[in-house]
Amino acid sequence: MGVVVLGTEGGDRDNLTTVFELAGSWGPGSKITKISRSGNALIVDMSPYGRPLAHGSVIDAQTITVTFPDDSTITGRLLPPGTIEWSNRTSWTKL
């Protein structure tokens, strides 16, 4: 039995496949947070909350990590069909 590497196009570690698409708009609340993705790199636009851009990365199919420069680095667990459960005990839902 071989090792299975999650990714695209033959196991490309530079573009890991996640259990759902991360790019897009996220809630809760009336202010919308946007996540954009390039390869495994993530940018989280927190400007609706008056906060700086956060940067992170895809770790595996169900895990991301994001550094919020005005706070801390937290881990997110991806729960289909569209929830990020953060290690700081908050969660976001894809809109």
DSSP states along the chain: -PPP--SBTTTBTTS---SS---EEEESSSS-EEEEEETTEEEEE-GGGT---EEEEEEETTEEEEE-TTS-EEEEEEETTTEEEETTS-EEEE-
- Give the predicted TM-score (pTM) of the model: 0.84
pLDDT in tens, 4-44: 333 333 345 789 999 999 999 999 888 999 999 999 999 99
Rounded CA-CA distance 60/45 in Å is: 22
pLDDT in tens, 61-90: 999 999 999 999 999 999 999 999 999 999
Q: Which amino acid is at 76?
A: G
